[in-house]
A = this chain, B = another copy of it.
Amino acid sequence: MGQVPAATRTLRVLKFLAAQPAPVSLGRLAAACDLPRSTAYHLLAAMVDEGFVVHLPDEHRYGLGVAAFEVGSGFSRQEPLQRLARRQLADLVDATGESAHLVALHGRDVLYLVEERAPGRPPLVTDVGVRLPAHLTASGRAILASLPAAQVRALYPDRSAFVDRHGVGPRSLSALRVLLAETRQRGYATEEGEVTPGLASIASAVLDHNGHPVAGLAVTYTPGGGAASPDPVVAAVRRTAAAVSRRIGGRTAG
């Protein structure tokens, strides 16, 4: 648990609360975060004081407070990932002649953070701020492939999680697992026509310093559309993802 248990636990509690659809009781929280009861009270009291948690006395529940919201929008305002990746994405576009983008995983969706369009390329459905189902996009698959299996399972508890856009793509957890295993084996993620018919993508994950994915980075192109073999694109995408990973002190994938 590192060197600052109280801090780590506080953050874990925050993440746990953020993952809940509704405020939870202290019992569930303590159990889920593996906290002694008295410690849970200490922590929650501090979090309430700082406005990160609201206590709902007559429901015996704890929910997220407005400070949590402020922190979240602070991320959007600072755009640390955008700041880091924009230049590298532009270089990638120059090198490949194709459009590139950066996404973050958000629940089961990918959220487009940066988009660099190649001149003379068709506009994409994607745009900054747009969300798409992660399991259908190359960048989403790159992220999912770097997650522990347990987390993927938690994200996709049943078949209803597998929406599709054009009748293609995985429809079950086992199908997704096969896809992600192939992705890891291959060393990069792909998608062909599953987001937009006629367009394909190649993606790789940006990893932080303990190998957890923080973003996905992809190039979208028209397969067979005059472009040469995708091999140089693959190399460029992987190189760029590794470069961005390095800039956040992360490991380089694979």
Q: Is A51 an interface residue when CB atoms closer than 8 A count as contact?
A: yes
Q: Which of B57, B58, B78 contacts A23 (CB 8 A)?
A: B78
A78 pairs with B63, CB closer than 8 A: yes
Q: Is A18 an interface residue when CB atoms closer than 8 A count as contact?
A: yes
- The verdict on A2 contacting B58 (CB below 8 Å), with A11-B52, A69-B104, A75-B68 known, is no
Residues of chain B within 8 A (CB-CB) of A7 are: 6-7, 9-10, 42-43, 46-47
Residues of chain B within 8 A (CB-CB) of A49 are: 2, 8, 210
B4 pairs with A46, CB closer than 8 A: yes
Interface residues on A, range: 35 or more
Query: What are the nearest 3 A-B pairs in CB distance?
Result: A72-B72, A18-B74, A6-B6
- The verdict on A50 contacting B6 (CB below 8 Å), with A68-B71, A71-B72, A106-B70 known, is no
Q: Which of B67, B72, B210, B215 contacts A73 (CB 8 A)?
A: B72
CA distance A212 to B67 in the complex (A): 12
A69 pairs with B80, CB closer than 8 A: no
Excluding A10-B10, A18-B71, A19-B70, 9 further A-B contacts by CB distance (< 8 Å) are A2-B46, A8-B49, A11-B52, A11-B67, A15-B67, A21-B78, A54-B80, A56-B84, A72-B76
Residues of chain B within 8 A (CB-CB) of A80 are: 23, 54, 56, 63-65
B12 pairs with A50, CB closer than 8 A: yes
By beta carbon, the residue of chain B nearest A71 is B18
B78 pairs with A75, CB closer than 8 A: no
Main secondary structure of the interface of A (DSSP, over half): helix
Residues of chain B within 8 A (CB-CB) of A208 are: 48, 51, 54, 65
B71 pairs with A14, CB closer than 8 A: yes
Q: Is A174 an interface residue when CB atoms closer than 8 A count as contact?
A: no
- The verdict on A18 contacting B214 (CB below 8 Å), with A4-B6, A46-B7, A80-B63 known, is no
B69 pairs with A106, CB closer than 8 A: yes
- The verdict on A47 contacting B3 (CB below 8 Å), with A18-B71, A74-B19, A75-B68 known, is no
CA distance A43 to B5 in the complex (A): 10
- The verdict on A68 contacting B63 (CB below 8 Å), with A3-B45, A58-B247, A247-B58 known, is no
Q: How far is the CB of A9 from chain B (nearest CB, A)?
A: 8
